[in-house]
A and B are shown apart, each in its own frame.
Chain A
């Protein structure tokens, strides 16, 4: 009987895609959340002193994207064959390119600067990324609602999670991107995911 423990802060952040994978697959795991003040005492327990970490049958894995890919493959949410897995990885990397551009802006402490950078990001940077997501979907989706191969994969779950953050910044972000809007709606409709979204803890991040 496989055991899974996921260690992270009490928030969505870089662990949420993995939580969504567990939920979509209907798989049980220990959802361990450390508050900021408790984290220092656990830091040395993690392979690289960072979280998230997945503990699978006693083996610890760091790196959020690697964790998510591992779980998706465990639960058949990673693509039907080797090439589809690669297509899913390509979508994931492309989504993460967008996240990488946004993270420093989100972290900016000077409020005025942050607002300026955010405006610039929305106007100049985000459109390219959204276009890229749609380009990949057009080529890989086989005409369906999901990014790859006409079935739900962790690429859709990641886009759902990242999409929520984008919409928080600009609720109109997907107005000219019907396919992306529709993709998120399809993810939300999946019964196990709908149930998870309803019941998950509400946290600031």
Chain B
């Protein structure tokens, strides 16, 4: 399987691209990991289907936009999207729930330029949003998990990778969040960190600001 048959275009950042890179790593799937700085973006933008990134490009040049659509597709191809329609839907529900929280951070906290306002929004985010979110993740895990570790059923899915990546990214951006997740996700984080393919990828991936 040549790496030429799949191309992933994104900035040299984790942000909205890292989930797909993690899924491809977990799957042991080779691909061309095309990364560019903001300065190169004007060259790439007109080549991207909606003028946005990330984009997944197949061998025949067909492009797919939208980070979570791309992630779901590569996960499905890799057998990381559930074993039937209901499992896929449970996975999607966990992903949507995590996405809601990420978007709250990106829309309310991250862009705030006023230092005082930012601190206010951050406090609200930590005290209200994250607290509720950890509760919600716990409820979904209780309802859908068949073991101690994974969110849905008893095997790794892209929902696990999305929560893993989101928690990591949040910890990097907001170290104060550390205590909020408690111990309930430790078995999952350990399992993912211990996964051979993922460990190899994590050890080698470029260090980026976010």
Nearest A residue (CB) for B85: A73
Q: Is the CB of B89 within 8 A of A82?
A: no
With a cutoff of 8 Å between Cβ atoms, the chain B residues found around residue A132 in the complex are 50
What string of 1s and 0s marks CB contacts (under 8 Å) between B73-113 and chain A? 10011000000011011101101110000010000000000
Contact A74 B66, CB 8 Å, known A47-B143, A48-B139: no
Interface size class of A (residues with CB under 8 A): 20 to 34
Q: Is the CB of A86 within 8 A of B69?
A: yes
CA distance A69 to B66 in the complex (A): 16
Q: Is the CB of A48 within 8 A of B97?
A: yes
Interface size class of B (residues with CB under 8 A): 20 to 34
Contact A70 B89, CB 8 Å, known A60-B143, A63-B96, A89-B69: yes
Residue among B69, B86, B88, B103 facing the most chain A CB atoms (10 A cut-off): B69
Cβ of A83 within 8 Å of any chain B Cβ, yes or no, is: yes
Which residues of chain A from 21 to 61 have any CB-CB distance to chain B below 8 Å in the complex? Answer: 47-48, 56, 59-61
Q: Is the CB of B64 within 8 A of A61?
A: no
Q: Is the CB of B85 within 8 A of A70?
A: yes
Q: Is the CB of A65 within 8 A of B72?
A: no
What string of 1s and 0s marks CB contacts (under 8 Å) between A58-100 and chain B? 0111110111011001100000001101110110111000001
Nearest A residue (CB) for B137: A48
Cβ of B191 within 8 Å of any chain A Cβ, yes or no, is: no
Q: Is the CB of B49 within 8 A of A139?
A: yes
Which residues of chain B from 47 to 72 have any CB-CB distance to chain A below 8 Å in the complex? Answer: 49-50, 58, 62-66, 68-70, 72
Cβ of A136 within 8 Å of any chain B Cβ, yes or no, is: yes
Q: Is the CB of A90 within 8 A of B65?
A: yes
With a cutoff of 8 Å between Cβ atoms, the chain A residues found around residue B93 in the complex are 47, 61-63, 66
Q: Is the CB of B49 within 8 A of A70?
A: no
CA distance A73 to B89 in the complex (A): 10
Q: Is the CB of B66 within 8 A of A94?
A: yes
Cβ of A135 within 8 Å of any chain B Cβ, yes or no, is: yes
Nearest Cβ in chain B — how far from A49, in angstroms?
8
Dominant SS among interface residues on chain B = helix
CA distance A20 to B139 in the complex (A): 29
Contact A136 B92, CB 8 Å, known A48-B136, A89-B72: no
Residue among B65, B140, B143 facing the most chain A CB atoms (10 A cut-off): B65
Nearest Cβ in chain A — how far from B96, in angstroms?
4
Q: Is the CB of A93 within 8 A of B68?
A: yes
CA distance A59 to B70 in the complex (A): 27
Q: Is the CB of A56 within 8 A of B86?
A: yes
Partner of A94, one of B50, B72, B76, B89: B50
With a cutoff of 8 Å between Cβ atoms, the chain B residues found around residue A73 in the complex are 85, 88
With a cutoff of 8 Å between Cβ atoms, the chain B residues found around residue A70 in the complex are 85-86, 88-89, 92
Contact A61 B139, CB 8 Å, known A86-B72, A87-B64: no
Contact A86 B68, CB 8 Å, known A62-B93, A66-B92, A66-B96: no
User: 5 shortest A-B CB distances, which residue pairs?
Assistant: A70-B89, A66-B92, A86-B73, A63-B96, A93-B66
Query: Beyond the given A61-B89, A86-B69, A93-B69, could you list 14 further A-B residue pairs with CB under 8 A, ordered by the A residue number?
Result: A47-B93, A47-B139, A48-B136, A59-B86, A63-B96, A70-B92, A73-B85, A85-B73, A87-B64, A89-B68, A93-B66, A94-B66, A100-B103, A136-B49
B residues touching A (Cβ–Cβ < 8 Å)? 49-50, 58, 62-66, 68-70, 72-73, 76-77, 85-86, 88-90, 92-93, 95-97, 103, 136, 139-140, 143
A residues touching B (Cβ–Cβ < 8 Å)? 47-48, 56, 59-63, 65-67, 69-70, 73-74, 82-83, 85-87, 89-90, 92-94, 100, 132, 135-136, 139
